[in-house]
Amino acid sequence: MRLKDRVAIVTGAGRGIGEATAIKFAREGAKVIVADVNREDVDRTVSVITEGGGEVVGMIVDVTDLGQVEKMVSDTAEHFGSVDIVVNNAGITADAQLIKMEEAQWDRVIDVNLKGVFNVAQAAAKQMKEQQSGVILNASSVVGLYGNFGQTNYAATKWGVIGMTKTWAKELGRFGIRVNAVAPGFIMTPMVEKMPEKVLEMMKGKSPLGVLGQPEDIANAYTFLASDEARYITGTVLSVDGGVVL
C-alpha cells in the first residue's frame, strides 16, 4: 500500500494509461478521482475500482475548461479533504505532416496537451500550496524528446510539458510539492492501436526488448514517482520506453 489514504486525481482516466493508473493507485490504497470527458469510460473505470474494494469518484471534466478544472479540484478537496497527487494524463493526437497540418489540428492538440496540463496543475498547485505538500506528474512522450514523423503539434506539446515540469519543480519545491514527467514509448492503448500495423511492427522492432509497452508499465512508473520512495526526485523526466531510442 504505497499510496495509502493519498487523494489522487487522474485526468483522462477513462481508458488506456489513465485507466491503468487509476486502478493501480486504488490498489495501492489511494482515494481516486477518475476524470475524463467520456462518461461511459469513466463509469467503467469507476466500476472496476469499486469492485476491487477501492474508494473512487468519477467526474466528467474537460481539462481545456479552466472552470471545470477548478471545480474538480475544489470538489475533490471538499469530498476527500486534500489533493495529494495529480496525474496530468489526458492527451490527444491529430497527426499530419507539417505541410498538410491544418490550424484546427494544431490548436486542438495544443489546447488539450498543453493548456489542459497548465489548467490542472495551476488549480492543484494552489490547493497543494495550502497543504504544503503534493505531487504533480505530467505525461510527456518519447515523441517530445526525439520528435516523430507527422506529429509536429504533439511533439511540441510533449516537449512543452517537460519545460513546464522543470519550471514548476523550481517554483513549487519550497511548498513541499514535487513535479515530474514520464515519457512513455509506444504503449498499447486505444491511442496507439489506431496506428498502422506496419508502424507498430517497426516500433516493436526498435525496442531491444522486442515488444510494445503495456499501460501498466506506465502506471507503475507513476506509482513510484507519486510515492514517498521518490521523495527526493523532482524536475525529472522518467523514460519508460523499452529502449526504443537506443
Considering the rule CB under 6 A, would residue 49 count as an interface residue with ligand NAI?
A: no
For residues 125-147, b (16+ Cβ closer than 10 Å) or e, as one string? Answer: bebbeeeeebbbbbbbbbbbbee
Grid cell listed for 117: 496540463
C-alpha closest to that of 157 among 111, 113, 93: 113
- 53/208 with CB nearer ligand NAI: 208
Given 119, 141, 152, 153, the residue binding ligand NAI (CB under 6 A): 141
- Rounded CA-CA distance 7/30 in Å is 6
Tell me if 15 is assigned to a ligand binding site: yes
Q: Which residues pair with 181 in a beta bridge?
A: 138, 237
State which of positions 13-32 bind ligand NAI (CB under 6 A): 14-18
Question: Near ligand NAI by CB under 6 A, which window of 1-9, 56-64, 99-107, 169-177?
Answer: 56-64
Tell me if 14 is assigned to a ligand binding site: yes
Number of H helices, E strands in the chain: 10, 7
Based on the residue annotation, tell me whether 154 is a catalytic residue of this protein.
yes
- 63/125 with CB nearer ligand NAI: 63
- 56/63 with CB nearer ligand NAI: 63
Considering the rule CB under 6 A, would residue 89 count as an interface residue with ligand NAI?
A: yes
Question: Near ligand NAI by CB under 6 A, which window of 50-58, 59-67, 123-131, 223-231?
Answer: 59-67
- Rounded CA-CA distance 10/118 in Å is 14
Tell me if 148 is assigned to a ligand binding site: no
Crossing angle, helix 103-110 and helix 152-172, to 10 degrees?
A: 30
State which of positions 60-79 bind ligand NAI (CB under 6 A): 61-64
**Residue ranges for the binding site for NADP(+)?**
12-15, 89, 154-158, 187
